[in-house]
Amino acid sequence: MQFTIAIDGPAAAGKGTISRAIAQHLGAAHLDTGLLYRAVGMKTGDPVEIARTLSAQDLAREGLRTVAAGEAASRVAVNPQVRAALVAFQRDFARREGGAVLDGRDIGTVICPQAEVKLFVTASPETRAMRRWQETGEGSYDEVLEQVRIRDARDMERADAPLRPAEDAVVLDTTDLSIEQAIAQAQAVIAERLGRVSRP
């Protein structure tokens, strides 16, 4: 069976944690598309050429979860040529047998607009900054909050594939939810949507 679950949202909203849990629960493949951009941003050289030749080894390198890598990803993601180079990789992954869960910022709107299920996971900037600060231990909370706000603005205002919910996406606000509650709510939405798709 082929199905695509698109999970989008801003940094530190919980989409990665939810996506991994959903993929494991369904026995589906998972792709953190942000790692593609982080890997491109952290390598030296022409980002377009790097994007065209990205390998699985590049996605496994250390340091891709740091604040610096996130900033680097956001900078290269505004380049339309970089985005175009990574689209085919993501679309191929999305239609693999057994189903696929992809998380990112433009999966439901650009990469997989025909996805069977679309979620947009969000949370307040303050909550997301606290999570990111506790996760990385880098800088001060105020510095991380400022970085989150700058990145949000850059991601939402870019001309090519801006961060926004797809029209048919279910919005899941995790500001006041535990990880377990967020995963449970996501699973309920996905079960209902996939059930609707699979009914004759």
Q: Which residues are known binding-site members for ATP?
A: 9-17
* Single-letter residue type at 129: A
Upper half-sphere CA count for residue 121 (Cβ side, 13 Å): 31
Annotated binding site: 9-17
- How many Cβ atoms from other residues are within 10 Å of residue 74's Cβ? 22
Residues with Cβ < 8 Å from 186, sequence gap 6 or more? 7, 18, 21, 22, 119, 121, 172
Pick the closest to residue 24 from 104, 92, 99 (CA basis). Answer: 99
Pick the closest to residue 10 from 122, 102, 101, 109 (CA basis). Answer: 122
Report the C-alpha gap between 104 and 90 in whole angstroms: 10
